[in-house]
Structures are given as C-alpha cells and as structure tokens.
Amino acid sequence: MRPRHRTCFAVDISRFASRDVTSQAYMRKAVGDIAKSASAATGVRWRSEKNIDRGDGLLVVTGKVGVEVLFRDFIRKLCGEVRGYNLLAAHPAKMQLRLALDAGYLVKDAKGYSGTALNRVSRMLDAPEFKARMSARKAEFAVITSNELHEVADGYHLLEGWRLEKVPVNVKETHTDAWMWIP
C-alpha cells in the first residue's frame, strides 16, 4: 500500500434528516446526478469505485484532477446545477448543498481509501460555524476548503474575486482552520 497524492471532495445536503422519506429519496438521487453532471462537464472522472455514498451526500476521490479544474470549473458548474435543480424542485425537496475540497496523500486498500484529507473533508462539512454561516445567509450552495488547499489555490491566483472567510473546524479529533466561500 503506497500513498498517492489525490484530490477529494464531499458534498452534503443540509438538514437532510428533517425531510420526509419521499423528499430524501428524490434528493439523494438528485445530488448524485448533480455531482455526476458537474464532473462530466469539467473532466473530473467519475468512477464508482472511488465514490462513497453517504446517504445525504457523497465522498469522492478525484484522482489526478488539477486544483485549477476544481476551483475554476467544477465549483461553478456544481453551483449552477444546484441552482437549476432548486428552480424546478418542489419546496420540500429544495436543497442547500455544502461542498468540501481537500487534497493529500491517501492509501487505497480493498475497501477504499483512507487518509488525513478524507477525514478532514468530512469534518469540514460538519463544522458548526460553516453550517451556521450558510444557514444564516440562506445560501443554496457553499464551499469550504482546507487551509493547505487554500494556500495552493491562492498562490496560483485561482481565488481572485472570491470573498473567502476563515472558519474554525473543531469536529471530533480535527482542530484546524478552513476557508469558506458562498457564491
């Protein structure tokens, strides 16, 4: 088992468990379709063995996709897909979608991947401050990224025009800062 540097992302539907079962089923399918569509449109390979269904979202190891694709194209496409979905969805099935991005060394075994980046992506999605800020603004889409990936994206000027906010992430054993953006 050799570690490989990979980018990864996770998406999560806010307040999923508060929905009725019919809305949950509809939204589960929709979030998969939205993520697949955004991936296909931006060249992010969608391989089922690298994706983990989380019930109210997905955890995806993207492989060798560049951060410029994730920060420039993928985020914009995913945001557009969420907005398009919400325009057509009945009120109980409208969604607020959170996206977390990270990169790092992951180890693959017979059951999937493990590594700090995957742990951090999940914890960033669950950061109370991230959720609170998104909810307070009634945003239908928000992005959070690790400090490490933020430094890379900022260094290559991939975040020009973005108004990012530093967010504390104190979830389980993860205690760090991250950066959020609401388009």
CATH number for the domain that contains residue 137: 3.30.70.1230
Enclosing H/E stretch for 117: helix 116-125
What does the pLDDT read at residue 109? 86
- For the chain, give the percent of residues with pLDDT over 70: 95
Name the pLDDT band for 47 (thresholds 50, 70, 90): low
What does the pLDDT read at residue 46? 65
Q: Are 93 and 28 in contact (CB under 8 A)?
A: no
Tokens of 62: 């993207």
Q: How far are the Cα atoms of 53, 137, 163, 171 from residue 58, in angstroms, in the given order?
A: 5, 24, 26, 19
What does the pLDDT read at residue 53? 58
Tokens of 65: 């996709």
Q: Are 69 and 44 in contact (CB under 8 A)?
A: yes
- Supply the mean pLDDT for the chain: 91
What is the distance between the alpha carbons of residues 152 and 128, in angstroms, rounded to a whole number?
25
What stretches of the chain adopt beta strand conformation (E)?
Answer: 4-13, 51-53, 57-63, 97-109, 112-114, 141-146, 165-171, 174-181
State how far Cα 46 lies from the chain centre: 14
Structural domain for 142, as ranges:
4-181
What does the pLDDT read at residue 69? 93
| More confident call, 62 vs 85 | 85
Q: Are 23 and 85 in contact (CB under 8 A)?
A: no
Name the pLDDT band for 111 (thresholds 50, 70, 90): confident
What is the distance between the alpha carbons of residues 41 and 44, in angstroms, rounded to a whole number?
8
What does the pLDDT read at residue 161? 82
What does the pLDDT read at residue 50? 54
* pLDDT of 155 over the 80 cut: yes
Give the count of domains, the chain: 1
| More confident call, 19 vs 53 | 19
